[in-house]
């Protein structure tokens, strides 16, 4: 890759911020998602994306789930883009290979969930105000963008974005049960409630969890 266009492309503060946002993301992002994350207008972000694409820094895919007549473009770092120490490409490959191995092992869902449950319990290292607050905090940090709706004593936490969506669609019996286990572990460690139902991508979009008081 020619270094001069790269240096020029990343020399702008906004483009550098966009590059970091894409580098940290485990999945390709749309213009709107990048704009929202950086609190910018999509029309501001769009020419910067094109400039970085022209410099060979980005790959773009067309999202077939976009509105009719208006295909949505999703951006990710190009395979030969320079490393800033943040790109998860090697870990993304490793995650896909490990998920493939786990899928071939054909483990029961509850056994897969045990791994996620242990991780979820370990996340709660201080007393939260509630299990709902703990879920919102820790899953927001992981990129799930939780949204909470209360209906009497019942509480539903919907995950409006799945940072593992690509892997979840390829290996739902592994990834979704790991996610379920994480949720159960967080709720268990936080206390004050229990998981009544966990709905995966196979059940609805977005996935969600229904909680009941403990």
Taking only the tens place, the pLDDT of each residue in 143-201 is 788 888 888 778 899 888 888 888 888 888 899 999 999 999 999 998 888 888 888 77
Lowest-confidence segment of 57-66, 86-95, 203-212 by average pLDDT: 86-95
pLDDT, residue 193, reads 84
Q: Quick one: what percent of the chain has pLDDT higher than 70? A: 86
Q: Is a pLDDT exceeding 70 seen at residue 93?
A: yes
Q: Is a pLDDT exceeding 70 seen at residue 2?
A: no
SS3 55: coil
pLDDT, residue 45, reads 94
Q: Is a pLDDT exceeding 50 seen at residue 87?
A: no
> pTM value?
0.58
pLDDT-based confidence at residue 128 (cuts at 50, 70, 90): low
**DSSP state, residue 152:** T
Residue 151 falls in which region: left (phi positive, over 0), alpha (psi -120 to 50) or beta: beta
pLDDT, residue 65, reads 53
Average pLDDT score, the chain: 83
Q: For domain 108-213, give the CATH number.
A: 3.30.1380.20
The domain 3-77 is placed in CATH, from the list 3.30.465.10, 3.50.50.60, 1.20.810.10, 1.10.10.10, at 1.10.10.10
Give per-residue pLDDT as tens, 42-61. 999 999 999 989 888 899 98
Cα distance between residue 36 and residue 101, in whole Å: 36
Lowest-confidence segment of 35-44, 126-135, 200-209 by average pLDDT: 200-209
φ, ψ at 35 (rounded to 5°): -60, -40
The pairing of strands 58-67 and 146-151 is: unpaired
Lowest-confidence segment of 5-19, 127-141, 155-169, 194-208 by average pLDDT: 194-208
E-assigned strand segments in 79-189: 146-151, 154-159
φ, ψ at 207 (rounded to 5°): -75, 160
What are the residues whose beta carbons fall under 8 Å from the beta carbon of 83, sequence distance 6 or more? none
Distance of CA 198 to the CA centre of its chain: 18
φ, ψ at 144 (rounded to 5°): -85, -15
Task: Tell me the domain boundaries of the chain.
Answer: 3-77, 108-213
Mutual angle of helices 172-190 and 131-141, in 10-degree steps:
140
**Shared fold status for 3-77 and 108-213:** no
């Amino acid at each position: 890759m020619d270094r001069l266009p790269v240096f020029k492309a990343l020399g702008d503060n906004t483009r550098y911020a966009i590059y970091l946002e894409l580098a940290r993301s485990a999945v390709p992002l749309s213009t709107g998602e990048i704009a929202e994350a950086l609190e910018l207008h999509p029309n501001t972000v769009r020419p910067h994306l094109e400039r970085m694409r022209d410099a060979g820094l980005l790959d773009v895919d067309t999202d077939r789930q976009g509105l009719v007549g208006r295909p949505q473009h999703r951006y990710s770092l190009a395979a030969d883009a320079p490393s800033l120490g943040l790109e998860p490409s090697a870990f993304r490959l490793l995650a896909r290979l490990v998920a493939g191995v786990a899928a071939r092992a054909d483990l029961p869902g509850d056994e897969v969930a045990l791994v996620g449950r242990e991780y979820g319990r370990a996340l709660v290292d201080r007393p939260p105000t509630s299990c709902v607050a703990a879920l919102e905090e820790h899953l927001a940090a992981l990129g799930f963008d939780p949204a909470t709706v209360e209906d009497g004593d019942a509480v539903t936490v919907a995950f409006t974005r799945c940072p593992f969506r690509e892997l979840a669609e390829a290996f739902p019996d592994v990834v979704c049960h790991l996610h379920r286990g994480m949720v159960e572990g967080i709720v268990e460690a936080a206390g004050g409630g229990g998981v009544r139902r966990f709905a995966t991508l196979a059940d609805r979009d977005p996935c969600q969890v229904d909680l009941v008081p403990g």
